[in-house]
Amino acid sequence: MTRYITTTITVSIHPEGENPIYGDRATHVSVEDEAGGGFLVIKQHGDSHEPGTVRLDPEELDAVAAAAKELISKYPKESEE
């Protein structure tokens, strides 16, 4: 029998009351892998800034950094795969 596990690979950081998926102030932190080892990706989906730009409030930075550290610490290392 196959054993299934849960691995969180994306987290949304957003102000309370704002939609975590499509809110203008939602920041998504994810761990991705293109077969060379995991790396972090930070995205925002708001239309209020240039594509490729991430804007963080000073108060938001700690939450984003903590989420990024948590995701990457739980991502399997190549030797564990």
Question: How confident is the model at residue 19, as a pLDDT?
Answer: 93
pLDDT value of position 12: 96
Residue 35, in any domain of the structure: yes
> Which tens digits make up the pLDDT trace of 36-56?
888 999 998 776 667 778 888
| Count of domains for the chain | 1
pLDDT beneath 50, residues of the chain: none
- Residue 53 confidence (pLDDT): 81
What local confidence, expressed as pLDDT, does residue 78 receive? Answer: 63
pTM: 0.81
- Residue 1 inside a domain? The answer is no
| Largest Cα–Cα separation, the chain | 49
Residue 68 lies in domain: 10-80
In a domain, 3, yes or no: no
pLDDT at 81: 53
